[in-house]
Structure 1
């Protein structure tokens, strides 16, 4: 088996899991779930880091008044 296929088979479950979790969490927060879910399928880990920063951390910081 070609090394590229092994890499694809290894990374695919992580991309699917990331996409699923981003979609579900964004849906609960009303934060464009389809955007986050599709972006989660494309690359790893940047969508998760951006989601945490822009959807979770910044609004919580603004809410506390910092």
Structure 2
């Protein structure tokens, strides 16, 4: 147990905590917003727990179509 309390596979403990918080916040946002708008919220939230930031970017581009509305206004 050489340094397992302060590092996990070479990563500092604070970085692991930060990564977990970012993934949880992203997943919660995807779940709540997807449920509010009627999209596949379980899919987006589970994917959001695994990776960052691709699920959020794909959700905004394909599900919400936020970039299409912003850049292609006529």
TM-score by length of 2: 0.72
- Which deviates the most, 5-14 or 31-40? 5-14
Structure with greater contact order relative to length (CA < 8 Å, sep ≥ 6): 1
Cα distance in structure 2, aligned partners of 1:12 and 1:5: 13
Give the corresponding residue for 1:41.
49
How many residues are matched? 62
Q: Which runs of 4+ in 1 moved over 3 A?
A: none
Following TM superposition, by how much is the alpha carbon of 1:16 offset from its aligned partner in structure 2, in angstroms?
Answer: 0.2
* Structure 1 gap segments, 5+ residues each: none
Q: Which has the higher helix share?
A: 1
* Structure 2 gap segments, 5+ residues each: 1-5
Following TM superposition, by how much is the alpha carbon of 1:33 offset from its aligned partner in structure 2, in angstroms?
Answer: 0.6
| Root mean square deviation of aligned Cα | 2.2
Aligned-partner SS, 1:35: helix
